[in-house]
Chain A
Amino acid sequence: MNRIPTKLKEDKKLLSIYFTAGYPSLDDTTTIIQNLEKSGVDMIEIGLPFSDPLADGPTIQASSTQALKNGMTTEVLFDQLKDIRKTVSIPLIIMGYFNPMLQYGVEDFCKKCQEIGIDGLIIPDLPVDVYHEQYKAIFEKYGIINVFLITPQTSMERIHFIDSISNGFIYMVSSASVTGSSSGFGEEQTNYFKRIADMQLNNPQVIGFGISNNETFIQATAHAKGAIIGSAFIKHLTNKGVSQIDSFVKNILN
């Protein structure tokens, strides 16, 4: 049973945290995941680093470059995660760019995710239509939920299409930006959050990009099921290492 729908049914606002696997050190992956769960995080996005992360800003790109230098690969990540379900029960999602998955083999990748207990994938540069035509059947065969992004520029028609082929949640990009760009949400973004909430989509929405603290977490979750933090957490890891994850999460939630 996939853990994402179960988690989405919980009567609370969800905090999802992104980190780049292999950063700060190659072997931090399981420690970070375990500490995040212990700190009360609801979902985790494990970033599979890529040499050319087009949708990410400087913070995540720098962490990806370092992770690759540290020796992170798809094989290494899967090996690090092989026993993760012995200690961790919250939903785990791998977020990465399409080329490394294509080289691993999309079916092999999904199969491996199922074996490990990965619940979903977020692949920013795999377009919805290509997924729909070529890969949907594979994802479904292995019970992997694919999460799609929408932005303030996404048309209503396209949002409905994305909603119709989603079976977990919709990742709402808060503004026209790469990751780690903005600070605080203005009226324009709040209106966008409300507009999407009013569409009464089948899939709940989780907002990402530009969320970095308690204030932006509350603003985002006022109109959505949850929020995702990435760059701010990477910065925390850069400054404080993996030992003070608890204090980072507490600051967001309170």
Chain B
Amino acid sequence: MNYNINEKGYYGEFGGAYIPEMLYPNVEELRQNYLKVMAEPEFQKEFNQLLKDYVGRPSPLYFAKRLSKKYNTKVYLKREDLNHTGAHKINNTIGQILMAKRLGKHRIIAETGAGQHGVATATVCALMGLECIVYMGEIDIARQAPNVARMKMLGATVVPALSGSRTLKDATNEAIRDWINNPVDTHYIIGSVVGPHPYPDMVARFQAVVSEEIQWQLQEHEGKTNPDYVVACVGGGSNAAGAYYHFLENTDVKLIAIEAAGLGVDSGESAATSVLGKEGIIHGSKTLLMQTNDGQITEPYSISAGLDYPGVGPMHAHLYKTGRAEFIAITDDQAMNAGLELCKLEGIIPAIESSHALAVFEQKKFQPEDVVVLSLSGRGDKDLQNYIDYFKF
């Protein structure tokens, strides 16, 4: 079984490029060039140098002793939260800004939900001196004011998406429209393993540095490159794609994907796409998405702004459909408590997205000798207000 992308841009039956003809030249230019550019030694050198000196990689693989003791298993945290800008998102934006420069683009657009990808994009645009326009739902702008301010400080223009439900999916629509209107000079930095081929594959490859590091770091800790489990939260799926990447074809390594159940999978307020979604087309990709019987895309809910995307990347749809990854849905309450537990046990305040992954230990029993690597995708600074509101600190 092949779990990675095939030559036509599909993961099994999922993926492809379901795009209007107006986008075809942009996407085709990228498709024809991305692998070639990524393989250039100069590109690799610049990418790796920036990941090291600017992002702060490698991120530590930390043996969480007290957490391990509590759940009677061996837990390693992959500390993406320690990256510059506070999450794994920067791995991808560094890669894509270098790609954009190689393709001769001087105007960068991006979508953002909570603002993490917007900040990561604004950061690399400042680094490279390129114009940056970030589309963000009007509702998200109101509830994520600190990240809006960060983007502005970094020199980006934040454009409110006023259409539809005025959240992440609409910001994505607006970014795509901008790209249609600016087909020559603009590169669109998509923030997750979603969108038309080659985006899911390109973003996964930029994030693959995570699993590459896990292999050699685990060798140092445990004397073996493969963990028994890799656990990661999935919204669009980029941190999971990065954490899984080098283990995809090795079925001795079990993959666990944590989705946001919101108020509960059956509550009507959820973002558990694998359970609630059906096959369809969203943002140019055939995948699983939450929709009405009539094929209209619906609005998901999660306390975590990074997980409330109505679709999921085509790689993850394939991992779900084939049973390669086990999908577990975690509610707001379970996630918040797991996040607080990490604070108390390990002195680490996680992003609420990562808190969802941490809740796996209350849901699933691991063996004492199991080595479980969990992607701690982001830090909790951005979520402080949510934690305060929830726990009434």
- The reply on A35 being an interface residue by CB < 8 A is no
Contact B294 A74 (CB under 8 A): yes
Contact B181 A181 (CB under 8 A): yes
Contact A52 B173 (CB under 8 A): yes
Q: Mark B15-36, 1 if CB is under 8 A from A, else 0.
A: 0111111101100000000000
Known A51-B297, A57-B177: A99·B282 in contact at CB below 8 Å: yes
Known A124-B21, A151-B22: A74·B180 in contact at CB below 8 Å: no
Contact A176 B164 (CB under 8 A): no
CB distance from A71 to the nearest CB of B (A): 10
How distant is the Cα of A51 from the Cα of B19 in the complex, in angstroms?
A: 16
Interface band, chain A: 35 or more
Contact A127 B18 (CB under 8 A): yes
Q: Mark A50-75, 1 if CB is under 8 A from B, else 0.
A: 11111101100110010010000111
Contact B182 A176 (CB under 8 A): yes
Q: Mark B288-301, 1 if CB is under 8 A from A, else 0.
A: 00010111111000
- The reply on B280 being an interface residue by CB < 8 A is yes
User: Within A162-180, which residues are at the interface with B (CB < 8 Å)?
Assistant: 173, 176-178
- The reply on B78 being an interface residue by CB < 8 A is no
Known A125-B19, A127-B17, A127-B19: A52·B297 in contact at CB below 8 Å: yes
The residue in chain A whose Cβ has the minimal distance to the Cβ of B25 is A153
How distant is the Cα of A68 from the Cα of B297 in the complex, in angstroms?
A: 11
How distant is the Cα of A150 from the Cα of B181 in the complex, in angstroms?
A: 15
Interface band, chain B: 35 or more
Contact B18 A125 (CB under 8 A): yes
Contact B18 A126 (CB under 8 A): yes
User: Within B153-186, which residues are at the interface with A (CB < 8 Å)?
Assistant: 162-164, 169-170, 173, 176-177, 180-184
How distant is the Cα of A158 from the Cα of B283 in the complex, in angstroms?
A: 23
CB-defined contacts of A55 to chain B, threshold 8 Å:
20, 22, 177, 180
Contact A130 B18 (CB under 8 A): yes
- The reply on A104 being an interface residue by CB < 8 A is yes
- The reply on B281 being an interface residue by CB < 8 A is yes
CB-defined contacts of B22 to chain A, threshold 8 Å:
55, 149, 151, 153, 173, 176-178
The residue in chain A whose Cβ has the minimal distance to the Cβ of B284 is A125
Contact B21 A150 (CB under 8 A): yes
- The reply on B278 being an interface residue by CB < 8 A is yes
The residue in chain B whose Cβ has the minimal distance to the Cβ of A102 is B280
CB-defined contacts of A18 to chain B, threshold 8 Å:
none
CB-defined contacts of A68 to chain B, threshold 8 Å:
296
Q: Mark A118-142, 1 if CB is under 8 A from B, else 0.
A: 0000001111101000000000000
Known A100-B294, A154-B24, A154-B25: A58·B163 in contact at CB below 8 Å: yes
How distant is the Cα of A130 from the Cα of B13 in the complex, in angstroms?
A: 13
CB-defined contacts of A50 to chain B, threshold 8 Å:
295-296
CB distance from A158 to the nearest CB of B (A): 8
CB-defined contacts of A193 to chain B, threshold 8 Å:
none
How distant is the Cα of A75 from the Cα of B292 in the complex, in angstroms?
A: 13
Known A52-B164, A74-B294, A153-B183: A103·B278 in contact at CB below 8 Å: yes
CB-defined contacts of B163 to chain A, threshold 8 Å:
58, 61-62, 65
User: Within B261-317, which residues are at the interface with A (CB < 8 Å)?
Assistant: 278-284, 291, 293-298
How distant is the Cα of A57 from the Cα of B176 in the complex, in angstroms?
A: 11
| Complex partner residue of B177 from A54, A148, A150, A151, CB under 8 angstroms | A54
Contact A178 B177 (CB under 8 A): yes
Contact B24 A125 (CB under 8 A): no
CB-defined contacts of A103 to chain B, threshold 8 Å:
278, 280, 291, 293-295
Contact B164 A101 (CB under 8 A): no
The residue in chain B whose Cβ has the minimal distance to the Cβ of A153 is B25
How distant is the Cα of A154 from the Cα of B26 in the complex, in angstroms?
A: 11
Residue from B19, B21, B164, B169 having most chain A Cβ neighbours under 10 A: B21
- The reply on A248 being an interface residue by CB < 8 A is no
Residues of B within 8 A of A (CB): 16-22, 24-25, 162-164, 169-170, 173, 176-177, 180-184, 278-284, 291, 293-298
**Between-chain CB contacts (< 8 Å), 5 pairs:** A65-B163, A99-B291, A126-B18, A153-B22, A176-B22
Beyond the given pairs A55-B20, A58-B162, A178-B22, 9 more chain A to chain B contacts, judged by CB atoms under 8 angstroms and listed by A's residue number, are A50-B296, A54-B20, A75-B294, A99-B295, A101-B295, A102-B295, A125-B281, A151-B21, A176-B183
